[in-house]
Chain A
């Protein structure tokens, strides 16, 4: 008797599990489709959040960046993609100071390992999600990340204007996207 009941209970369990599977796929049939129709939807393209396209250095509206030319990104880069060229200047109060001259980045060499971004103490560089980086000559892959005439963002002054400043520092991605928009408009 037990084998007979096993036969039937096994059969009905099997049918039940098949129906469960079919209900799952039926839901999938009406689920939102994930395909991105790339060339047409360039404007509304959604990239996955961790996608890394090209290294950029976000500049704010005053053409200021956060890079102190410490060179940590260059040291951490496994294959010499980044070169940080610095120069010494003299400030108004007579102190000598090292500032960024050129932040050179070779997209053709980059393996997108993200080490530079992780180790940057100032969060001065980030990866942008722009992936349309094809160019016709090799030399155009070598980029300079800091803009012409840009300078280091001053550390916020203590006390009165304390409120807006930390917000700014806390949200580099927002600045970056704003910058990105400006660039595309140009």
Chain B
């Protein structure tokens, strides 16, 4: 029964069907193209859904109703916005560095798309599974800073420039914390391969956040803070700071190019939450308690990708909650938080985790 609700069953059907009817190279080519299309579509759809959710939740936090005119409860609002952005003119600005200016949005979107493609969405829904998956995620997601810096540099606009420089300082600082927090968990799991990390977290107390107890919880909180800062949102939105810098590094962009930045911002939020889910909260594993067989079977009937999106959605909600609670930091406060608090704590935490792993003090 359970195999019918999970994706691998259908994927195998498709795979067999293609391979029996076509030569292997053609079947593979078709599969690659299909995977690419599905990922692209998922990317766009998730971004649209997130934009809607963000606007709605923002409204609720401000005692408003949020979008509610386009479609029932405004659910088609972000589709309408997308059509608007697609139809808008891409304005050619004088005196920009043309090549870099037009190149910058692609860095942003490609980096977030490369990260998106490596996430394990569910049982068998994992496109690329590198042995050093976490390393890959960290490396590729930090490419987006190039897009931000290029945009600020090429725009020939002081606001864009200041925004990009702030973003650079912020990103380089917090990337360190995010990576160290993930490394703490890698010490615990002993592997960087995402599929293995998810497989290890079968029962609830095997989820890394519980298995590694104190240092894992600290790492989780630090990762959420650092990841939140990396997405340039919430109290860490200095690079955009609309009250000071109009729109920061993407001031000069319009139409689809702005759409790229917009999409990448929301997807980065999702990606950060997705990585946190995979590494700390058991990925797509359903809630399983050892011994409660009936409960476990019932939970297994919920498809694994629903679990993934549920946990990720929970973390995204957390991020929205933080975003609409705290005022924007000053640049010195931002750097203080990272270099005087998060990073030292993180290093001590890493050593603590090493000690715990060496003496086997984690939950077996």
Task: Enumerate chain A interface residues (CB-CB to B < 8 A).
Answer: 11, 18, 21-22, 24-26, 28-29, 31-35, 37
* Selected contact of B61 from candidates A11, A18, A25, CB within 8 Å: A25
Complex Cα distance, B322 from A117, in Å, reads: 48
**Contacts A/B (CB < 8 Å), 6 sampled:** A22-B321, A28-B61, A29-B61, A29-B321, A33-B59, A35-B63
- Type the 1/0 row for B53-91, where 1 means its CB is closer than 8 Å to any CB of A: 000010111111100100000000000000000000000
Complex Cα distance, B65 from A22, in Å, reads: 20
Chain A residues, Cβ within 8 Å of B325: 18, 21-22, 24-25
Interface presence of B10 (CB below 8 A)? no
Given A11-B341, A33-B60, A25 and B324 contact (CB-CB distance below 8 Å): yes
Min Cβ gap A9→B in Å is 13
Min Cβ gap B227→A in Å is 17
Given A25-B321, A25-B324, A34 and B64 contact (CB-CB distance below 8 Å): yes
Task: Enumerate chain B interface residues (CB-CB to A < 8 A).
Answer: 57, 59-65, 68, 321-322, 324-326, 341
Given A29-B57, A37-B68, 9 new contacts (CB under 8 A):
A11-B341, A21-B326, A22-B322, A25-B61, A25-B321, A33-B60, A33-B65, A35-B65, A37-B65
CB distance B63 to A28 under 8 Å?
A: yes
If over half of A's interface residues share one DSSP class (helix, strand or loop), that class is named, otherwise mixed; here it is helix
The residue in chain B whose Cβ has the minimal distance to the Cβ of A26 is B321
CB distance A35 to B326 under 8 Å?
A: no
Chain B residues, Cβ within 8 Å of A26: 321
Chain A residues, Cβ within 8 Å of B324: 25
* Selected contact of A35 from candidates B61, B64, B322, CB within 8 Å: B64
Min Cβ gap A149→B in Å is 47
Complex Cα distance, B68 from A35, in Å, reads: 11
CB distance B326 to A18 under 8 Å?
A: yes
Complex Cα distance, B66 from A34, in Å, reads: 11
Nearest 3 CB-CB pairs, A to B? A25-B325, A35-B65, A34-B63
Min Cβ gap B109→A in Å is 31
Complex Cα distance, B326 from A28, in Å, reads: 14
Min Cβ gap B322→A in Å is 7
Chain A residues, Cβ within 8 Å of B57: 29
The residue in chain A whose Cβ has the minimal distance to the Cβ of B64 is A35
Complex Cα distance, B136 from A178, in Å, reads: 73
Chain A residues, Cβ within 8 Å of B326: 18, 21
Complex Cα distance, B59 from A154, in Å, reads: 54
Complex Cα distance, B63 from A11, in Å, reads: 31
CB distance B63 to A31 under 8 Å?
A: yes
Complex Cα distance, B150 from A19, in Å, reads: 37
Given A11-B341, A18-B326, A21-B326, A33 and B64 contact (CB-CB distance below 8 Å): yes
Chain A residues, Cβ within 8 Å of B62: 28
Complex Cα distance, B341 from A35, in Å, reads: 41
Complex Cα distance, B59 from A22, in Å, reads: 16
Complex Cα distance, B345 from A11, in Å, reads: 11
The residue in chain A whose Cβ has the minimal distance to the Cβ of B341 is A11
Complex Cα distance, B244 from A48, in Å, reads: 34
Chain A residues, Cβ within 8 Å of B65: 33, 35, 37
Min Cβ gap B234→A in Å is 12
Chain A residues, Cβ within 8 Å of B64: 33-35
Min Cβ gap A179→B in Å is 34
Complex Cα distance, B321 from A98, in Å, reads: 67
Min Cβ gap A17→B in Å is 10
Complex Cα distance, B325 from A28, in Å, reads: 10
Chain B residues, Cβ within 8 Å of A18: 325-326
Chain A residues, Cβ within 8 Å of B60: 29, 33
Chain B residues, Cβ within 8 Å of A11: 341
Complex Cα distance, B74 from A177, in Å, reads: 36
